[in-house]
Structure 1
Amino acid sequence: MKPLTLLRFDALASYARAPRARLVGDEVAWYEHNNERVLGMIVRDKADGDFGGLVFGRDLRGRFRWISSTSQFYESPHHCRVALRREMERQAHLPDEEYFQADEKGKPVDFFTPVVKHGALNPAFVSLAEAIGYSPARGIIEPMMRWYEDADGNFVEQFQTTGFDARIWELYLFAAFTELGYEINRIHAVPDFCCASPYGEVNVEAVTANPTRDKRGNVVPEPLQETDEQKLAYVRDYMPIKFAGPLTTKLKKRYWDKKHVAERPLLFAIQDFSSPASMTRTSSALQRYLYGYDYEWSHDADGKLVTAPQRVEWHVWDTKKVESGFFRLPDSEQVSAVLFSNSGTISKFVRMGALAGFGSDLVQILRIGNWMNPDPNATEPLRLRQNVRDNRYREHWAEGISIYHNPKALKPLDPRLFPGVAHHWLQKDGRLTSRIPPHFPLASVTQLLVPERSEARAR
């Protein structure tokens, strides 16, 4: 029996947890035996303070689930650990069939075996499936996919072809919501996530801003951003229009008319895949479109940052013109909030996979970007360069999520349902109030460094 880090255990089996279990016991330690054939956990009962052991094995669909426990609870973690080791050794010698639960439905979901001809595969999927640099991401996605329920029936095909970015976004949300303690129900095709915890329930529909294409289906390059004026126009008008399309399309679907949605807060979770790395520079554009306000800033005589809100009515770009203020549109009061993260990309899976011990150790991973400056009067972010392989590096799935609350929501979202993420509220005077956790990433890029000989061997 060998100890596991919590991150490694979570990567393999976090989806097996019942959220209510957190109310009765605290997890103390995690273990594996026989090359992760079985996993173990020690928990401390909150009521009595004694310790018990749980054992997990793979069911018919390859998912780690509870298969046995220690015969009793113990006053010390040491005695519990001895008993847990014996039980894990006993279970590890049993045949696979002993771990099956008799309630498995369907076959294991296999994301990486091609379901279409190689020529039709998305190049990004091919890189994920074959390149050594993406092996950490591949390693952490494989156990996750065994728990993912494909309510639409086309997830794998789209993941491998035209919908790669959108499906990666959904997988990211699945991981983040699980980390936040939610049990995810995907028996309904819409919305994408029906999330329940002991503290409340929410519904979430995933949406992406995608590249503009011409009549032949070719991607139209985004506008130039060489001058300050071009960059400002891109954020003030071009990107708000890009966000408006998918968000208003989702609004027209009237999810709140469905019985399983009607009584719960509804969130739209949007990610920007409109161009390479675009999500690293467009969060301010989303905020501008959602609330319909722009802000001028200055420092007063004491050096304090002062912002002046200015209402925006329209966004105009070439022949396109859209009304600003998504939360001012008819029916938008049915949407409790909009969730955004610039981290919900394949790079996130690479970093989290490496932290959990998946993939090749030859892959060096650097994260470079801007983080929130803790100085309340700062106008520039902190710029950091971090080595993900450094033992001091820390990251979690929900890091980087921002939630923009709807000031007119009929079912306001309780921020306590999403701890550890950034929350933003519009005040009556047009000013924005934010609650942002420490070390919050604003935008980052991830560099993968792989020795050329290793990549050649992999090919």
Structure 2
Amino acid sequence: MADQALQEHNELMERDIFAPKIPEEKMHSSFQQIRSDKEHTAARRLMNEVFGYFHDTDKNFIREFQSNGFSPRVFELALFAYLHEQGITPDRDHPAPDFVTHEENPVAIEVTTTNPPQGIKEENDPACIPILPEDMPEANRAFVFQLGKALRRKLEHRDASDRAYWEKPHVQGTPFVIAVGAFHDQHAQLHKMHLVAEYLYGHRDILGHDESGNITVTRETIKTHLWRDKEIPSGLFKRPEAANLSGVLFSNAHTVAMFNRIGTEFGYGPHDVALCRLGSAYDPAPNASEAQKFGYVVGDRAPEERENFSEGLVLFINPWAATKLSPQALPGIPYFEMGDEGQVISMLPAGFLPFDSKTIAFEGEHAHDLARYFQLAYLGLIPDSEH
């Protein structure tokens, strides 16, 4: 019995992505922070639960998750959870691309992330991180540059046999998609999907209103994107190097915070930890041209309104790709495609559609009261005299 118990314990530890597998000095700072923090209890339990049915093809997931591959592995695990929610079992028999599905509308997905510039140290203390960047336009320019860098890195990649992802035998003829998550700085999750669309399609829509109050749209062509002394061409989808890129799957939400929120709604978190989620979302009101604020305390919403792993994903379809992608290959999420007259059309599902968000944790006996107060203050529902 003792031997069996020891074997079961060892097997459990092998599947525990938070059990140290590398020396502490080599651990990623974010991994070190969340592996023992009380406020991340729900995230740890849910991430381990998802990893329990995740096939680790190259046997490197845990080591990379604990070290310099932390952000890409978090994003990869969250994408796997999304596919699982949709009833899709991806082929994980090959190390690359990360996911290949064989449904009625197949797709091959390679996962990547925007990463901090070399030499820039991440700041992990929430008390030191302002809610918004000091210069949002500059932050948006940096985001587009990091997005382009991450996508080009995957398009240029070749394996030991000098094959691109779409040239591998098990991928040929299957639409190829790069999934990119925003992780390049502490405000990465604030950048909205329209910036991705502008870079991929090479034009932006400027919204206005006519004399009757109806929305008007003026299209502006974009040739290049500038950031500091760097310049990259716009319209990646139109460029020759993207001929085999069928689409881009983007997220600014699939982070540890998402695992923490969903895990908390499952009841995996301590009773004295409360999470308050704040952000902006799509406004379905007629002629609305601005996002609307939202704020809620995780666990307060009705069961049918609770978050899932499809939330925050957006699919951009390349109309010029050699292999066409059906939006049904990645169901349940918004997608962008090109209309007959060259306009970019967004197809948005009904219901709550967040554009960006931040999650703030409160701990202690009155954590939930503080979180609800913070929520109301953010939404402007508390008079200034009571702040």
Q: Give the TM interval when normalised to the shorter protein.
A: 0.7 to 0.9
Say whether 1:296 aligns with 2:206.
Answer: yes
Are 1:249 and 2:153 an aligned pair? Answer: yes
The equivalent residue for 2:252 is 342
Q: 1:110 & 1:387 partners in 2: Cα distance?
A: 29
Residue range with higher mean Cα deviation, 251-260 or 278-287: 278-287
Q: 1:166: Cα distance to partner? A: 1.1
Q: Which whole-Å CA distance do the structure 2 matches of 1:109 and 1:200 have between them?
A: 32
Q: Which has the higher contact order (CA 8 A, sep 6+)?
A: 2
1:268 and 2:178 correspond: yes
| 1:313-365 superposed Cα distances (whole Å, 9 cap, x missing partner) | 11122331211111011141211110111210001000111122213222111
SS, match of residue 184 in structure 1: coil
Alpha-carbon offset, residue 225 of structure 1: 5.3
Aligned residues: 343
Amino acid of the residue matched to residue 241 of structure 1? F
How far the C-alpha of 1:398 sits from its partner, in A, is 0.6
- Once the 2 structures are TM-superposed, how far is the Cα of residue 192 of structure 1 from its aligned partner? 0.6
Counterpart of 1:399 (choices 285, 289, 311) is 311
User: Paired residue for 1:114?
Assistant: 20
Name the counterpart of 2:108.
Answer: 203
CA distance in 2, matches of 1:295, 1:232: 17
Shift of the alpha carbon at 1:119? 2.6
Alpha-carbon contact 2:224-2:234 (below 8 Å) kept: yes
Q: Percent identity?
A: 29
- In the TM superposition, 1:140-289 aligns within 5 A as 140-197=46-103, 199-214=104-119, 226=134, 230-235=135-140, 237-253=141-157, 254-289=164-199
Secondary structure of 1:439 counterpart: coil
Q: Distance in 2 between matches of 1:387 and 1:246?
A: 34
Superposition deviation, residue 61 in structure 1: 6.3
Report the 3-state secondary structure (helix = DSSP H, G, I; strand = E; otherwise coil) of the residue aligned with 1:262: coil
- Establish whether residue 447 from structure 1 lines up as the match of residue 360 from structure 2: yes
Q: Is the 8 A contact 1:193 1:203 kept in 2?
A: yes
- Distance in 1, Cα, partners of 2:142 & 2:247: 22
Can you list the C-alpha shifts for 1:192-216, whole angstroms capped at 9, x where unaligned? Answer: 111233x3321100010101124xx
Q: Deviations over 1:140-180 (max 9, x none)?
A: 11222222222233211111111111110001001001111
Question: Counterpart of 1:167 in 2: which secondary structure?
Answer: helix
For the residue of structure 2 that corresponds to 1:177, the secondary structure is: helix
* Uncovered stretches (5+) of structure 2, i.e. residues with no partner: 1-7, 124-128, 158-163, 368-387
Q: Which one of 25, 30, 40 corresponds to residue 134 of structure 1?
A: 40
Mapped to 2, the partners of 1:265 and 1:428 lie a distance apart of 21
2:112 partner SS: strand
| Distance in structure 1 (CA, Å) of the matches to 2:301 and 2:220 | 45
Cα pair 1:138 1:359 within 8 Å, conserved: no
Q: CA deviation at 1:277?
A: 2.6
CA contact (8 A) 1:108 1:146 kept: no
SS of equivalent to 1:368: strand
Q: Which has the larger radius of gyration?
A: 1
Q: Is the 8 A contact 2:237 2:320 kept in 1?
A: yes
- 1:100-149 CA-to-partner distances (Å, cap 9, x unmatched) read xxxxxxx9533111112223222321232211100001111122222222
Task: Give SS of 1:171's match.
Answer: helix
Amino acid at match of 1:150: D
What is the aligned-residue RMSD (CA, Å)? 2.5
Structure with the bigger percentage of strand: 1
1:104 is aligned to: none
Instruction: Name which of 341, 348, 351 aligns with 1:436.
Output: 348
- Give the TM-score normalised by the residue count of structure 1: 0.70
- 1:310 corresponds to which of 195, 220, 223: 220
- Pair 1:111–1:219, CA change in 2 (3 A): closer
Greater Cα shift, 333-342 or 107-116: 107-116
Q: Structure 1 CA distance, aligned partners of 2:203 and 2:341?
A: 11
Partners of 2:143 and 2:188 within 8 A in 1: no
Q: 1:414 — aligned with what? A: 326
Given that 2:272 and 2:366 are in contact with CA atoms closer than 8 Å, whether structure 1 keeps it comes out as no
SS of residue paired to 1:261: coil
1:389 matched to 2:299: yes
For residues 328-367 of structure 1, the aligned pairs below 5 Å read 328-367=238-277
Indicate if the aligned counterparts of 2:192 and 2:355 stay in contact, CA closer than 8 A: no
- TM score, norm. by length of structure 2: 0.82
Q: 1:320 to 1:335 in 2, by over 3 A?
A: same
